[in-house]
Amino acid sequence: MAYIQGNPGEIHELARYEIRPDALDEVLDAIHEFVAYVRDTEPGALRYEVWQEAEQPTRFVHLFVWRDAEANRIHGDSAEVKKFAGILYPKCLEPVEFTEYRQVDANAAFRRI
């Protein structure tokens, strides 16, 4: 049986946070602007998705797949990350929780550009 586990060297991360209800519109605008930047300028970001919890719309999860450690470093060092964090972090109820994962399996491989 074959498993879908991603490519060697890829970094799989998840970020979770909850924001103040009064900050929702501003944070959503910042998310859209930030993801557009990642989509347009970071080819090493193989996957960058933001999910909003349906029952608690002030809770979010970001899913990242980086091509390698260098792509992750480039992202983390960018001015846009600092700008986004400057908007987001003060509006969070607790610090953002970042967790790195190892892909075990999937029903299909996502398209790597």
In a domain, 113, yes or no: no
Give per-residue pLDDT as tens, 33-88: 999 999 999 999 999 999 999 999 999 999 999 999 999 999 999 999 999 999 99
For the chain, the distance separating the N- and C-terminal CA atoms, rounded to the nearest angstrom, is 26
pLDDT value for 38: 97
- Domain assignment of residue 6, yes or no: no
Asked if the model's pLDDT at residue 110 lies above 90, the reply is: no
If one compares 3 and 108, the residue with the highest pLDDT of the two is 3
CATH label of the domain that carries residue 30: 3.30.70.100
What percent of the chain shows pLDDT beyond 70? 94
Helix 79-88 to helix 69-77 angle (10° resolution) is 60
Sheet holding 59-66, edge to edge: 45-52, 59-66, 11-18, 97-101
Instruction: Show the domain range for 39.
Output: 11-101
Band of residue 8 on the pLDDT scale cut at 50, 70, 90: confident
DSSP 92: B
- The number of distinct structural domains making up the chain is 1
Q: Provide the 3-class DSSP secondary structure of residue 57.
A: coil
